[in-house]
Amino acid sequence: MNSKFSWQNKILIFLVGVIAIILIYAKIFMWGMGYFEGQQVTLAQSIQVVVESLTTSGYGGFAPWESDFMNYFILWMNFTGLALLFIAFPVFFIPSLKNVMSRDIPRKINKQDHVIICDYSSYTEALIEELNSRNKDYVIIEDEEEKAKGLMETGFNVMLGDPEQKEILEAACIDKATAVVIHTDIYKNISTIFTVKNIETNAKVIAILRDENMKVYYDLAGADITIAPRQLVGKTLAEQIPAVSINDSVEIDNNLEIVEIDIQDGSELCDQVIGKTDLLKQYNINIIGAWVKGEFQSPVHIDLELSSNTRLLVAGFSEELENLTKKAVAKTRDFTRNEVLILGYGQSGQAVAEVLRNTSVSVKVVDIEDKEGVDIIGDVREPKVLSELGVEDASAIIITIRDDTAALFATLMSRNKNRQANIIVRANDKGDVQKLYQAGADYVQSLATVSGRMLASCIFEDETSIAANKQINLIQLPVGSLAGKTLAGADVRAQTGCTILVVIRGDERFPKVDPNDFVFRDGDEVILAGTDESTQEFERRYLN
C-alpha cells in the first residue's frame, strides 16, 4: 500500500468518525427530547442541534432544557466539539491533508543521459553542483521516505526506493543512464554493484571509498571506477609543500606543461605587479590563473601584485618553466627549517606522510591515538602538545583532523606560534573553508569539493580535469566563430576567462602563436584552460 492511499484512508476514517458521532448524538437527542422534555423532533432538527453544539454556534429554538440529562448531554456535545477542534483536527486531520496535497516522492522517472546517485552525502552534493554547472541531469535514489522528502523539498531530484533492487534501478532508467555513483556502507555498495551488473546497461559504476583498503572488493564486484577522497586529499595536501616540481606537472603535449608555482619571500618575482613582469615575452609563459589567499582568480588581472601568498598556475615549456621557477624562489633559504608537521593521522594524514617520507623533508606526526607512525600522542588543541611537537620551528604544518572545529582551533594556535610556516588544512565541511582561511591557513582543501570534481572528471569523458585541487579544466574544442580572427583581435581571455594553450590544425600543433598575426581557420581546434564558468562562456560565445 503506498503512502498516498494510506493518507486518504486516514482522512476517510476521520470523516466517517465525525459523521458517526453526529448521527449517534442526533439519535440520542431525538430520544432525550421525547423522553425527558416531552417534545418530538425530527432527525434533521436533531442533526442541526448536534452540529450547532459541536461547533458551539447555538441551539436554535430548543434551549433551555428542563431535565438534567439533556443539559449534561448538551455539555458533553460541547466538549466533544472542542476535542475535535483543538485535538483531533490539527493533530490528525491537518497533517494527513497536507500529506495528500503535497507533491508525492516519485518511484519512477523518465530520464536519459543522466547520473544515478545512490545515497546523498556531502560528496555527492558537491558532484551535483558540478553536474548542474554542466547542465547534466541526475537523480538521487533514497530508500528512507523522510530523508527523500527533505531532499525533494530542498530542490534535489529524488526518487524513492532501494538501489539494491533491480526494479528500482530499472525505474530510474538505468538503461539510459551515463553513470551510477554509489556511496554508502560497503555491504550495500557491493550489493548495488552486483545489481547493476545484472542489468543490461552501459552506465559506468563509480564507487566512493571510505577506506582505500577496500578497493580490492569493489574491483572484484565489478566497479568500473573507484575513488578514495580522503587518501587523495592527503596526497594533494602534501603536494602543496613549496616549491612545485615540474615532474608533478600536468602534460598537455610532448613539450608544453602546466605547473603551479609558489611565489616565495625574497624572490625576484615577489612584490612585483604581474603586468610588469612580462612573463609571456620573457619566458613564453601563459598565466592561466592564480590562487590569492586561497581564492582562485582566472583570468589574472594585470594589476595583481605577486606576494608570498600567491600561487600561479602557468603553462609553458619545461626549460622555460625551470627558469621561471628559479625566479619565484628566494635567493637565500634557511635550509634548517625543512620540517613538516602533520596534525592528525587518519587516512588523509597517512597519505600525506607516505608522500613526504619519500622526499628529503623531515616529518613529525601528532595524533590523539597511539598508532604506528605517530611521533607524539596528544590533543592538538592543547598548546603544550604543539610546543612539544616544535610548531614554532616548522616550515609547514598540515592539518588533517576529522573535526573542523578542532582544525580551526589548531590552525589559529599554529599561526599564532609560527607566523612564517605554510599552513595547509583539510576541511571536511565545505562551509568551513573560509573560516580556516580566516584562522590563518595558507591553503584549504575541501574534502567534498575534491570528491565532486573527481566524480565529475570520471563522468565527463569529453573533458579532462587537470587535478581535483587545481579547480581548472582542460578541454579541446573547435574554434567556431573565431575563424578568421586573431587571438588579440578576439581578446578571448578578456571575453571568456579562458587561456588558449595550443592550436591544433590538422596534424600540426601550435603551442606558440603570435596573438597579433596568427589567424584562426575553419577546422582549427584549441586546447583551453579555464574554470567551469569560463569554458562554458567560450562555448556560448563562439560555438552556439
Quickly list DSSP for 455-481.
HHHHH-TTSEES-GGGT-EEEEEE-GG
Q: Does residue 243 have a cis peptide bond before it, meaning omega lies within 30 degrees of 0?
A: yes
Name the more confident of 361 and 334. 361
Cβ(456)–Cβ(487) below 8 Å: no
| Distances, alpha carbon 224 to alpha carbons 122, 461, 490, in Å | 22, 14, 42
Q: What is the pLDDT of residues 66-98, one digit of tens each?
A: 888 888 888 888 888 877 777 766 666 666 555
In this predicted structure, what is the pLDDT of residue 487? 86
Q: Where are the alpha helices (DSSP H) in 375-513?
A: 383-389, 404-417, 433-439, 447-459, 487-490, 492-496
Residues 125/433/495/519 CA torsion (nearest 10 deg): -90
Check whether 55 has a pLDDT greater than 60. Answer: yes
β-pair type (250-251, 256-262): antiparallel
Say yes or no to pLDDT of 474 above 80.
no
CB 397 within 8 A of CB 341: yes
Q: How far is CA 542 from CA 298, 380, 503, in A?
A: 19, 53, 15
| Set of cell numbers at residue 130 | 558540478
Question: What whole-number distance in Å separates Cα of residue 407 and Cα of residue 389?
Answer: 16
- DSSP-derived letter for residue 244 is P
Q: Report the SS3 class of residue 252.
A: coil
pTM to 2 decimal places: 0.53
Q: How confident is the model at residue 471 (pLDDT cuts 50, 70, 90)?
A: low
Residue ranges of the alpha helices (H) in 84-121? Answer: 94-101
Identity at 349, one-letter amino acid code: G
Q: For the chain, how many residues are written?
A: 544
**Per-residue pLDDT at 407 exceeds 80:** yes
Q: Give pLDDT tens digits for 262-289.
A: 777 777 778 888 777 766 566 677 787 7
118-127, 152-161, 227-236, 488-497: segment of lowest average pLDDT: 227-236
Report, as an integer, the average pLDDT of 481-500. 88
CA atoms within 13 A on the CB side of 414: 35
Report the pLDDT averaged over residues 431-447. Answer: 86
* Distance separating alpha carbons of residues 208 and 104, to the nearest angstrom: 30
Q: Longest C-alpha distance within the chain, in Å? A: 115
For residue 458, the model assigns a pLDDT of 76
Helices 3-35 and 43-54, axial angle in degrees (round to 10): 120
Query: Which pLDDT score, from 0 to 100, does residue 88 have?
Result: 67
pLDDT of amino acid 58: 67
Lowest-confidence segment of 236-245, 497-506, 510-519 by average pLDDT? 236-245
- Residue 158 CB neighbour total at 10 angstroms: 23
φ/ψ of 30, rounded to 5, equals -60, -45
Q: Provide the pLDDT for residue 333.
A: 36
Residue 37 has pLDDT above 80, yes or no: yes
The mean pLDDT value for 168-195 works out to 92
Contact 459, 490 (CB under 8 A): no
More confident position, 371 or 459: 371
Peptide bond into 64 cis (omega under 30): yes
Compute the mean pLDDT over every residue in the chain, rounded to the nearest whole number: 79
- Banded model confidence at residue 331, pLDDT cuts 50, 70, 90: very low
pLDDT 10s digits, 358-370: 665 788 899 989 8
Give 364-397 pLDDT, tens digit per residue. Answer: 899 989 888 898 898 888 888 888 888 888 888 8
What pLDDT does 163 receive? 93
Listing from the earlier edge strand, what are the strands of the sheet with 225-227? 158-160, 138-142, 115-118, 179-182, 204-208, 225-227
At 97 the pLDDT is 57
Between strands 115-118 and 138-142, the pairing is: parallel
Q: What is the pLDDT of residues 308-330, one digit of tens each?
A: 767 777 877 777 777 776 666 54
> What was the pLDDT predicted at 329?
58
Whether the pLDDT of residue 248 is over 50: the answer is no
Cis peptide bond upstream of 299, omega within 30? yes
Cα separation, 445 vs 480, whole angstroms: 36
> Using an 8 Å Cβ cutoff, are 356 and 381 in contact?
no
Mean pLDDT, range 39-67, rounded to an integer: 78
From the list 403, 421, 341, the residue with the least C-alpha distance to 374 is 341
Q: What does the alpha-carbon distance between residue 354 and residue 350 come to, in Å, rounded to a whole number? A: 6
- Beta strand 376-377 with 396-399 is unpaired
Is residue 194's pLDDT more than 90? yes
Q: What is the DSSP string of 405-428?
A: HHHHHHHHHHHHH-SSSEEEEEES
pLDDT band at 484 (very low <50, low <70, confident <90, very high): very high
Helix intervals (H) in 242-285: 274-277, 279-283
Checking DSSP bridges between strand 525-530 and strand 473-478, what pairing results, if any?
A: antiparallel
- Average pLDDT (285-305) is 75
Please answer whether residues 271 and 305 qualify as being in contact, where contact means their C-beta atoms are separated by less than 8 angstroms.
yes
Q: Is the pLDDT of residue 251 over 50?
A: no
pLDDT per residue over 9-28, tens digit each? Answer: 766 777 888 889 889 988 98
